[in-house]
Amino acid sequence: MSDGSIERLARGTLLPSFPGASAPRWLQDELERGLGGVTLFALIGNVPSPEALAALTAEMRKAADPIITIDEEGGDVTRLGGHLTGSPYPGNAALGAVDDPELTRRVYRSLGAELAEVGVNLNFAPSVDVNTAADNPVIGTRSFGSDPELVARHAVASVIGTQEAGVAACAKHFPGHGATVEDSHLGVPIVDADLALLDRRDLLPFRGAIQAGTQAVMTGHLDLPSITKGVPSTLSRAAITGLLREHLGYQGVIVTDALDMQGASGAIGIPEASVRALLAGADLLCLGPNEHQESLRAVLAAIEKAVRAGRLPLERLHDAAERTRRMKEWLADPTPAIVDRAAGIEAARRALRVTGAATATGNATASGAVSGSISGSVSGAETGSVTGEFSGLSNGPLVVEVASTGNIAVGPTPWGLSPWAPDTVRAEGTPSEAASLLERATGRGLVVVLRDAHRHAGQRALTTALLQSRPDAIVVEMGLPVWIPEGAVHVATYGAAAANAQAAAELLGLTHAP
């Protein structure tokens, strides 16, 4: 086979990135030479607006028929305009809290419809990780929950919904990132599980996604010592070919998580990680947000060298090309779907949970925190889904949003109640801030907004200090409700998307449902 044929097959496995909202000349040239596709990232300017993104994808399709991918999970991980305003769709934790698979299907079908409208044809979603580690630094609200069977039924619903819109789904992060306490962007997390545990926990949702016909599965950079023997799953034949291909019987496209992450290439570099991922059985290689023309050329050279040296069998590239061809064939006959943003706000409203609700009833307190009661219903004794609102807060409560560092996957997406609460202040999360905040809240309601307080000692410390003087304050948790201060009125949204924030604002009486 000629070097030109090897080069074209190698190009077909690559999903580089590029900066800006216009395809550079080098990218157009590479697409014409057989480049597999691209991965889009909001942080490098690929998505200034949906309209600009549609123009960009149309521009790229003048050169070829590429796979155009993006990381649009809804919820906290959002790229399609949501990185500027917050997503109109709640993420997986809220959908899991509602536990209505048909609603999950509607949400993902609508997300898929929005992606199809702007020319994206492969979505790096859903995350089907079973989040069993409460202190997981990278999954959290991206997971449907900690129950494998619940996650599995929503994995099925989200894959079906996405693909009903003609967009390929990609179940991630195989073999499951939910039991980790380390971020694979920064290192190689260890999942201490044998095959029996993986089968009944982490692999169950992937089985569901595969049975639902997912067009792609994404690998995670995870070490399973009993299986991968110290090698990240993305680079492990035992994980990709052994677990995913042979044990689960998956025959579709396997795509890597970004190879610029420390968990994949930190010790060996991206070109070598690319060769090892292909050897392990991957078909498409996501390079990362800062891996442009220079990185592409280095990876191509490494792959071609490995083929010519006999290290990487040419058949492996042919296998990858054939699976990618089948996915493109599936993509060539899409069934259009209708955008249904009503599904997003419905899910966010139904996901709300209140604890300590009994303490919010009665007459106004001396400090004026709650001048009324919760109107509507709370299902269950003290915790449940909520309809109605807290009356009395519409007179202008002080809303304190306590600083929370997002993880790398989420990025700097806006969150909080400030769009509906004119008097919102940001706090860093130290007990010393309590005095001035309490003075400012004198004579009116006080709402404290947190995000994953169980992971942020400062959030817990400041909230505890405020509640000591204002036990009538309302605490809103916009991450996972792991830490719930005893005796407080606590509202859990299960996510920080714009839809979650709107639902909470409606409940608190800061705005009203249209």
**Amino acid 404: pLDDT:** 86
pLDDT at 358 over 50: no
Residue 359: what pLDDT?
42
Range of the domain at 494: 352-507
Q: What are phi and psi of 385, to 5 degrees?
A: -75, 150
Same domain, 320 and 358: no
Looking at the predicted structure, is the pLDDT value of residue 263 above 50? yes
pLDDT in tens, 306-333: 999 999 999 999 999 999 999 999 999 8
> Residue 334: its pLDDT value, please?
79
For residue 10, pLDDT beyond 60: yes
Is residue 445 within 8 Å of 369, Cβ to Cβ? yes
Is 340 part of a structural domain of the chain? no
Q: What is the pLDDT at residue 428? A: 94
The predicted structure's pLDDT at residue 391: 52
Q: Is residue 436 part of a domain?
A: yes
Catalytic residue among 185, 221, 292, 456: 185
pLDDT of residue 4: 57
Q: What pLDDT does residue 371 have? A: 30
Tell me, what's the pLDDT at 367?
30
What pLDDT, in 10s, does the model give residues 436-463? 999 999 999 999 999 999 999 999 999 9
In a domain, 415, yes or no: yes
Helix (H) or strand (E) holding 390: strand 389-390
Same domain, 106 and 135: yes
Provide the mean pLDDT of the chain: 90
* Total count of domains within the chain: 2
How far apart, in whole angstroms, are the C-alpha atoms of residue 53 and residue 376?
42
Instruction: Determine the straight-line distance between the first and last CA of the chain, rounded to whole angstroms.
Output: 64
Name the catalytic one among 129, 202, 223, 257.
257
pLDDT at 378 over 60: no
In percent, the amount of the chain with pLDDT more than 70 equals 91
Q: Is 3 a catalytic residue?
A: no
Question: Has 185 been annotated as catalytic?
Answer: yes
pLDDT at 379 over 60: no
* Top-confidence range, 213-222, 387-396, 503-512: 213-222
89 & 220 share domain: yes
Residues 285 and 378 reside in one and the same domain: no
344 is a domain residue: no
CATH of the domain at 260: 3.20.20.300
- For residues 64 and 29, what is the distance between their CA atoms, to the nearest angstrom? 10
Contact present, 487 and 68 (Cβ < 8 Å): no
Percent of the chain at pLDDT exceeding 90: 81
Domain assignment of residue 338, yes or no: no
pLDDT, mean of residues 357-383: 34
Strand partners, 426: 401
Q: Are residues 432 and 384 in the same domain?
A: yes
Q: Read off the pLDDT band of 81 (50, 70, 90).
A: confident
Helices 25-32 and 293-308 cross at an angle (nearest 10°) of: 30
Can you tell me the distance from the alpha carbon of 116 to that of 344, in angstroms, rounded to the nearest whole number? 18
Distance, CA of 408 to CA of 411 (rounded, Å): 5
Same domain membership, residue 356 and residue 227: no
151-209 residue pLDDT tens:
999 999 999 999 999 999 999 999 999 999 887 888 888 899 999 999 999 999 999 99
Q: Which of 46-50, 317-321, 357-361, 371-375 has the lowest mean pLDDT?
A: 371-375
